[in-house]
Amino acid sequence: MVNKRKKDGISKNKKIKRNNVDKRIKQKKRKEGKKQKEKIRSIKDCGISRIYYDKTFSNFKILKNSEVFYLSLKFAKEFRNNEVWGKGLFLVGCPGSGKTHLLAAIIDYIARLYKRYLKPESLIYRKAGDLIAEIEDNFSSTSFQDLINRYKTVPLLFLDDLERTSKELNEIIDYRYKNSLPIVMTSTKKFSRLSKTIQRTIRMRCKTGFFKVGDFWLYRCEKILKENKIKLHIT
């Protein structure tokens, strides 16, 4: 009887210890999960509007633009390789075609997949017009060159709605090209209607593989477009 009580006591103690260990493991996992979510959030907090935080590849509405979608997904999946070789992406299309959604999806994918080695400052998103205005506003500032260098050297730069360029912006793009640093850009204008400077810049970089171009204008996007062609890549 005594031995039985002793065994029951030992068994009970083991069960309590095991439960305590399980609780500590669960607490550690919850803490680690929370930490990873905060890391993902900090990476995504790169300048893009918070209304795009929930935009992903899985909730992108694919219409007649599936090749543009898969081109963007491929860029995100091959980010490490693109980072090494400085491969970029340029999406053009009408307002509402999904360009910014795809940029947000790329940011989300990269933040989740590479959260362990990326730093919050590894990605920067800017509206191209805002970036040019920021550069012009700080032209006389003592921190002007630091500002330019920030955009030149950030591991991955996103430029949305590129409509015009400037000497400093061309300098940033050229520096990134020469130093194999990727850049992802979008524009609402057809490629043929972009400024000659931008066209020349993009064409030169396409020839060397620095850019892949996804053209929404070649597809029907929510009945806005009238064309339905097959060609997508400009290489």
pLDDT in tens, the chain (235 residues): 555 555 555 566 666 666 666 666 666 666 666 777 888 888 888 999 989 999 999 999 887 668 889 889 999 999 988 888 888 888 888 888 889 999 999 999 999 988 888 888 899 999 999 999 999 999 888 889 999 999 999 999 999 998 888 889 988 988 888 898 999 988 887 766 666 767 676 766 665 666 677 766 544 333 333 433 333 333 2
**pTM, 2 dp:** 0.77
pLDDT at site 94: 80
The full set of domain ranges for the chain reads 1-43, 45-218
* Sole residue written with tokens 């032209």: 139
* CATH code of the region 45-218: 3.40.50.300
Q: How far apart are CA 147 and CA 131, in angstroms?
A: 10
Q: Which residue has the tokens 């990605």?
A: 123
C-beta neighbour count of 127 within 10 angstroms: 20
Sign of CA dihedral 99, 104, 107, 110: negative
- Beta strands at 156-160 and 88-92: parallel, antiparallel or unpaired: unpaired
**Residue type for position 208:** T
